[in-house]
C-alpha cells in the first residue's frame, strides 16, 4: 500500500470511529494487554489498553489523543491535507520499521561548554545521566535520549558556538510545563496551544539549546 493509501485508510477509519461510536479521550481501550505499543501517529510508546489497532491497516495502532486530533482536523478543510499527510507518513514509517527494522530512532547531539552544568540543568527537567565518556554525555528520560558533546571552541570564541534544537513528544505537555514551572526550572518558556493541534513549550539550557516539548492538545 502506498503513502496515500495508508493515509486515507488511517484517517478515514479514525474519523468514522469518532463519528459513529462516540469516541472519547478514554475510549480507546480495545487492547487489554499490559505491554507497551507504539502509536502510529505520534510515535509514543503507550500502554496497550490506551491504543486500538486500525482494522483497515493491520499492525498499526493509534492512541486516543491522536485519534481525537485527527478527527478534529477533518472538520477543518484547510488542515485536512496536512492531517492526512502526517498520519499517513507516520503509519508508513511504523510499517516499514516493523518489516525491515532499518530505522529505530533519532537522537540529537547538542553542544555543551560544561557537562557538569548540563547534567545539573537537565536533571531538573527529568533527564538522568546513563552514560559519560570523556567529552560526551548521554541522558535519558522515559525512552527519550538527549546527547551532549563538548566540541572544540570555535575560532571566534564561545559566542560563535551554534546551539541545537530538538522536539520531544510527551504524554501531557501542559502537565509537564506546570511541574517544571512549580520547580522554578530556568529557561522555561510559555506553554501554547497551537493551531496545528499540539500544546507545546520550549526549554532553553545554559548553552542556548532549545528543546521543544509537545503533545496533542486535549479537548474538554
pLDDT of residue 63: 77
Query: Given 83, 100, 117, which residue is the final one in a domain?
Result: 100
Residue 103 burial by CB count (10 A; 0-12/13-18/19+): exposed, middle or buried?
exposed
pLDDT, averaged across the chain: 75
Cα separation, 148 vs 116, in Å, equals 11
Provide the pLDDT for residue 188. Answer: 98
If asked whether residues 121 and 206 sit together in one domain, one would say yes
In this structure, are 78 and 148 located in the same domain? no
- Determine the pLDDT at residue 6: 44
Assessment of whether the complete model's pTM goes beyond 0.75? no
Of the ranges 22-31, 66-75, 160-169, the best mean pLDDT one: 160-169
Query: Range of 14's domain?
Result: 3-100
164 with 126: CB under 8 angstroms? no
Residue where a domain terminates, one of 100, 134, 163:
100
What pLDDT does residue 35 have?
77
Please name which of 36, 46, 81 lies closest in space to residue 66, comparing C-alpha atoms: 46
Same domain, 89 and 113: no
Residue 208 grid coordinates: 542556548
Q: Which residue from 157, 153, 152, 121 is spatially nearest to 139, judged by alpha carbons?
A: 121
How far apart CA 161 and CA 36 sit, in angstroms, is: 39
Indicate the pLDDT class of residue 190, thresholds 50, 70 and 90: very high
Residues 206 and 116 in one domain: yes
pLDDT 10s digits, 121-152: 999 999 999 999 889 999 999 889 999 999 76
Q: How many domains does the chain have?
A: 2
Mean pLDDT along residues 7-19 = 49
Amino acid at each position: 500500500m502506498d503513502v496515500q493509501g495508508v493515509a486515507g485508510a488511517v484517517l478515514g477509519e479514525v474519523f468514522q470511529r469518532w463519528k459513529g461510536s462516540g469516541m472519547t479521550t478514554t475510549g480507546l481501550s480495545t487492547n487489554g494487554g499490559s505491554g507497551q505499543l507504539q502509536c502510529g501517529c505520534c510515535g509514543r510508546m503507550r500502554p496497550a489498553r490506551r491504543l486500538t489497532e486500525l482494522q483497515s491497516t493491520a499492525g498499526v495502532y493509534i492512541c486516543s489523543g491522536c485519534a481525537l486530533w485527527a478527527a478534529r482536523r477533518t472538520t477543518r478543510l484547510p488542515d485536512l491535507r496536512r492531517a492526512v499527510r502526517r498520519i499517513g507518513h507516520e503509519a508508513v514509517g511504523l510499517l516499514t520499521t516493523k518489516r525491515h527494522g532499518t530505522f529505530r530512532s533519532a537522537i540529537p547531539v547538542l553542544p555543551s561548554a560544561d557537562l557538569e552544568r548540563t547534567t545539573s540543568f537537565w536533571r531538573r527537567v527529568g533527564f538522568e545521566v546513563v552514560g559519560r565518556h570523556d567529552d560526551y554525555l548521554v541522558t535519558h528520560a522515559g525512552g527519550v535520549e538527549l546527547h551532549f558533546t563538548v566540541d572544540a571552541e570555535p575560532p571566534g570564541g564561545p559566542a560563535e558556538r551554534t546551539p541545537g534544537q530538538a522536539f520531544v513528544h510527551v504524554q501531557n505537555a501542559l502537565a509537564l510545563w506546570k511541574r517544571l514551572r512549580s520547580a522554578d526550572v530556568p529557561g522555561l518558556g510559555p506553554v501554547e496551544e497551537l493551531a496545528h493541534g499540539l500544546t507545546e513549550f520550549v526549554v532553553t539550557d545554559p548553552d542556548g539549546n532549545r528543546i521543544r516539548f509537545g503533545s496533542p492538545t486535549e479537548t474538554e
